[in-house]
Structure 1
Amino acid sequence: MSEHLVAVAETTKLARLLGITDPTELDFLVDLPPAAIREFRERATDLLFDRDTKRLKGVAAGAKLVPVTISAKVAERAFGPTLCAAVASAVEPHRAIDIAKSLPAPFLADCAVQLDPRRTAAIIAAVPAKLVVDVARELLAHGDHITMGRFVHVVPEPALRAAAPVMSDTDLLRIGFLLEDKTAIDNVLHIVADRVPGVIRAAAAQSMWAEGIDLLDSIAPHNRAWIGNITAGLGDDVLDALINAVYELDAWTTLLPITSAMNHDSLRLFAERPAVHAEPILAAIMDTALDGGQWVNLLPLAAHLPGAQIEFIAARVAAETDTRLGELVREADAAGLWDALIPIALAMTDDNRRRMAALPVLSEPDVLRAVITSTAEHDLWAQALPLVDALPDTVKPILATCIGDLDREQLLAAVLTASRGDNIHTLVDIALAQDQQGRARILEIIDGMDDLEEFLAALTVETPEIVWHALIEVRAEIPTGLLTQLAERARELGRDHDAAELEPLGATTE
């Protein structure tokens, strides 16, 4: 997408050089690498400027022999803008500026059209801000954004600031698209930061999303967040127009890095748009994420999507081979995005979740520690416990160690969540797999729970045998009060044998 737009910008500038009024006549070139088109344009420029080098230098030398006012008159009435542009690079910068000050702005604008910024950068950098503004006004009056785009990177910041007010938001968008040096875009954004909302609205109002998206593709990573947040704050109509344009232009490789940099509220607004939920658009996003290297940029967006859309993503991810699925897990882990990946794993079918859990990457201690840490930090126990339950028995000692590293509040949250869901057996099994000190800590926390009744109620007739066996195995470590209540709960469930095993020593039953 970006390569195509850059090629369009290059053919537009080439058409100007060749005197072609309709740039679309060069559309047959847009499939070529933009660098090749630019190289051709620069070589053609060199050919035009270098063919009369000796004579041009002679003319420039002659300019030194007459007063500035006479040189200016000769330049305007005898030479004309084309010859003046050709001679400019051979004139000393301070002399060229003195002559320019004596020339009318319309004539200077005509000269600027013919100038080569590679040859005249020193002159342009020394042009007074007022003169830059006057020339900019003339160029804009003729709709000449090409010339302005070619010189932005060599015009000093004070002059750019002075000229910015004469440009409309649409002008800024068109000039940005035609920048000779796209690395200058971040400096331009810095200068016109207050104009960015208007530029984005102009892209929507003028159906110029291609130009806008090209600029988004050019900005540095540190500018992505505030640009994305501004866009999200411009309302549903702008967001919908952007989403549909990106889909039509297949520009998700440009937009996903922007959305991933947004703050929580802005990303939520983006993710709530029905356009994002449409299956064709979501499918295009997934194609870009899985095949275009944008997986870690998709995950923050996925975390804000509704359940049905997360299920769609989960199905696409699960369709990958084990090798590729392992790569996706490792990329998410390296980016610290387990809080986004865990809900996707939960949305998988049981078979696919077990397949994911069996991947070698999920047996690595550092990865498992990241899973538990992220789960605790984001309170994702309800989503994570099914994934943990699917992990092989061989990793339970590692998980037990990770659980033991959590603070009291995190452990309490895990116990409460497990007791309110269908995964109490998972947490009990792992918690009791710790060493004695770790088990004592867990049992003490359970014993002191304000919601102990809720925990006990989670033990039902469907609770796996392994949970009861684990409790009986560590009964000597269970506080007496908790042990008594566990025995009572077992008896309520008709598990008299287990109740007898759990009964504290010396206790009597009726």
Structure 2
Amino acid sequence: MSEHLVAVAETTKLARILGLTDPTELDFLVDLPPAAIREFRERVTDRLFDRDTKRLKGVAAGAKLVPVAISAKVAERAFGPVLCAAVASAVDPGKAIDIAKSLPASFLAEIAVQLDPRRTAAIISAVPPRMVVDAARELLAVGDHITMGRFVHVVPEPALRAAAPVMSDVDLLRIAFLLEDKSAIDNVLHIVSDRVPGVIRAAAEQSMWAEGIDLLDSIAPHNRAWIGNITASLGPDVLDALVQAVYELDAWTTLLPITSAMSHDSLRLFAERPAVHAEPVLAAVMDTALDGGHWLNLLPLAAHLPDAQLAFIAARVAAKPDERLGELVREADTAGLWDALIPLALAMTDDNRRRMAALPVMQDPDVLRAVITSTTEHDLWAQALPLVDALPDAVKPVLASTIGDLTRDQLLAAVLTASRSDNIHTLVDIALAQDQAGRARVLELIDGMDDVEEFLAALTTETPDVVWHALIEVRAEIPAGLLGLLAGRARELDRDDDAERLEPVGATAE
């Protein structure tokens, strides 16, 4: 997508050099590499400027001998803008500026059209801000954004700041699209930071999303969050128009890095848009994420999608072969994105989640610790427990040791969440797989819970036998009060044999 837009900008500038009024006459070139088009344009420029080098140097030398006022008159009435532009690079910059000060703004603008910034950067950088403003106003009056875009990278910041007010938001967008040096875009955005919302809104209102998306593609990574958050703040109409344009232009490689940098609230606003939920849009997003190297940029967005759309993405991920699925998990782990991957795993079918849990990468102790750490930090126990439940028994000791490292508050949060879900057996099973000290810590914590009744209520007729067997196995370590409560709960569930084994010594069954 970016290559295509850059090629369009290059053909637009090439058309100017070739004297074509309609840049679309060069549309047959837009599938070529932009660098090749630019190289051709620069060669054409060189041929035009170099064909009379000796003669032009002679003219420039003569300018040194003639008073400025006379040189200005000769330049305007005898040379004309084309010859002036050709001679400019051979004239001393100071002398050139003095002559320019005596020329009308309209003529300076005509000269600027013909100048080659590679040859005249020293002159352009020395032009006073007032003259830049006057020339910019003349160029904008005739809709010449090409010339302005070609010189932005050599115009000093004070001059750019002075010229910015004469440019409309649409002008800024078009100039940014035609920048000769795209690395200048971040400096321009810094200068007109208060105008950025208007520029993005102009892209939506004027159907100029090709230019807007090119701008998004050109900014440095450190500006992505800023631009993304501004875009999200402009309302649903702008977001919907952006999504539709990105889909039509197949520009997800540009937008996904922006969305992944957004704040939590901005990304939520984006993910809530119905335009994002359309299946063709999600399919295009997934193609870019899984096959275009943007998997890590997708994950933050996926975590904010509604259940149905998250399930769609989960199915596409799970459709990958084991080796590729393992690579995706490893990449997410390395990037520290378990907080986004865990909800995705929860959205998988039970079979696919078990398949993911059985991958070699999920046997890595460091990965398992990262899962528990992220689950704790982001309070994802409700989502993580189904994934943990799908893990093979061989990894339980690692999980048990990791749970043993949790603080009391973290462990309490895990127990409470598990108590309110269908996965209490998972946490109990792992917690009791700890060493004796770890088990004692968990059992004492449960015994002292204000919500211990909630924990007991989570033990139901659906609770696997293995949980009751594990409790019976460590009955000697369970505080007497909790042991009595467990025995009572077992009787309520008609598990009389288990209740008898759990009954505290000396207690009498009711």
Output the TM-score relative to the length of structure 1: 0.99
- 1:412: Cα distance to partner? 1.1
Shift of 1:254: 0.5
Q: 3-state DSSP class of the match of 2:180?
A: coil
Q: Which residue of 1 is the match for residue 324 of structure 2?
A: 324
Distance 1:141 1:194 in 2: 23
4+ long deviations beyond 4 Å: none
1:77-226 maps to which residues of 2 (within 5 A)? 77-226=77-226
1:495 Cα offset (Å): 2.0
Deviation at 1:401, TM superposition (A): 0.9
The corresponding residue for 1:231 is: 231
2:32 match: 32
Counterpart in the other structure of 1:411: 411
How many Å separate the matches in 2 of 1:290 and 1:132?
47
Gaps of 5+ in 1: none
* 1:321 partner amino acid: P
Q: d(CA) in 2 for partners of 1:46 and 1:300? A: 48
User: Shift of residue 450 of structure 1?
Assistant: 0.9
Write out per-residue CA displacement over residues 211-252 of structure 1, whole angstroms, 9 at most, x where no aligned residue. 000010000011111111111111111111111011100001
Report % sequence identity: 87
SS state at 1:66 partner: coil
One-letter identity of the residue aligned with 2:500: A
Counterpart CA distance in 2 for 1:264 and 1:422 is 29
Letter in 1 for 2:505: L
> Is it true that 1:366 corresponds to 2:357 in the alignment?
no
Please give the alpha-carbon distance, in whole angstroms, between the structure 1 residues aligned to 2:236 and 2:213: 18
SS in structure 1 at match of 2:59: helix
* Aligned AA (1:56): L
Q: Which amino acid aligns with 2:390?
A: A
**3-state DSSP class of the match of 2:509?**
coil
Instruction: Tell me the alpha carbon deviations over residues 404-436 of structure 1, each in whole angstroms, 9 at most, x when there is no partner.
Output: 111112111111121222111111110001111
Alpha-carbon distance between aligned partners in 1 of 2:476 and 2:221, rounded to the nearest angstrom? 57
Q: Deviations over 1:230-279 (max 9, x none)?
A: 11111111111111011100001101111111111111111111111111
Q: Name the structure 1 match of 2:468.
A: 468
Q: 2-side partners of 1:288 and 1:273: how far apart?
A: 19
Query: For structure 1, which segment, 68-77 or 178-187, has the greater mean C-alpha deviation from structure 2 after superposition?
Result: 68-77
3-state secondary structure, aligned to 1:216: helix
Distance in 1 of aligned mates of 2:265 and 2:425: 36
| Count of residues in Structure 1 that have an aligned counterpart in Structure 2 | 510
| Structure 1 residue 319, shift from structure 2 partner | 0.5
SS in 2 for 1:180: coil
Structure 2 gap segments, 5+ residues each: none
SS in 2 for 1:426: helix
The superposition leaves residues 312-367 of structure 1 with CA deviations (integer Å, 9 ceiling, x where unpaired) of 01111110111111111111112211111111111111110000000111111111
Q: For residue 453 of structure 1, what is the aligned residue in structure 2?
A: 453
In 1, Cα distance between equivalents of 2:450 and 2:280: 49
C-alpha separation in 2, matches of 1:246 and 1:460: 50
Q: Hey, what's the Cα distance between the residues in 2 that align with 1:348 and 1:94?
A: 70
Alpha-carbon distance in structure 1 between the residues aligned to 2:501 and 2:114? 96
**Matching residue's letter, 1:128:** P
SS of equivalent residue, structure 2 residue 103: coil
Amino acid at match of 2:153: H
Amino acid at match of 2:250: D
Amino acid at match of 2:183: T
Q: C-alpha separation between the residues in 1 aligned to 2:492 and 2:132? A: 88
SS in 1 for 2:507: coil
Structure 2 length as normaliser, TM-score?
Answer: 0.99
Q: Which residue of 1 aligns with 2:422?
A: 422
**2:35 matches 1:49:** no
How far apart, CA to CA, are the structure 2 residues paired with 1:466 and 1:49? 86
Give 3-state SS (helix, strand or coil) of 2:247's partner.
helix
- Separation in structure 2 between the aligned mates of residue 419 and residue 124 of structure 1, nearest angstrom: 71
Kindly indicate whether residue 4 of structure 2 is the aligned counterpart of residue 4 of structure 1: yes
Q: What is the rounded CA distance, in whole Å, between the counterparts of 2:490 and 2:108 in structure 1?
A: 94
Matched residues in 1 for 2:457 and 2:164: separation?
A: 69
- Distance in 1, Cα, partners of 2:120 & 2:343: 57
CA RMSD of aligned residues (A): 0.9
